Amino acid sequence: MRKNSVKNIRINTEVMHELSNIIRSEIKDPRVSALTSVTAAEVTPDLKFCKAYISVLGTDEEKKNTIKGLKSAEGYIRRALASGINLRNTPEITFVLDDSIEYGVNMSKLINEINAKSSDDSSEDEMPDDAVEE
């Protein structure tokens, strides 16, 4: 199986959805933040290894604790993944912190601030209708 084959993409998507369900509903570790999401999963073509990209909305301390909690529950997550998805091999999962969602939110805030400033500047430049020029 090739890396970007239809089968591999389908497996990546299915693993991502199943990991999301497991983390959201079955993990009871208090270190794992409630605002944790799986942004992507990359399973190798031989189905031996998986990189799960995890996004956590919160402080740096919450992010570190969430990754520690997920790494300590790796065996349970792998077993739950094996029962949820019927694959020839159940991949070993490596959790990687992904800041792309937080980066996108920050960029969106900056764009909104710039748009608000530019609309304020343009409204100040316009003269009101009731003002009389002398």
Q: E-strand spans in 70-121?
A: 92-97
pLDDT tens for residues 109-129? Answer: 999 999 988 887 776 655 555
pTM of the model: 0.75
Per-residue pLDDT tens for 19-58? 999 999 999 889 998 889 999 999 999 989 999 999 988 8
Average pLDDT of the chain to the nearest whole number = 87
Residue with tokens 């084959």: 5
Is residue 38 within 8 A of residue 52, CB to CB? The reply is: yes
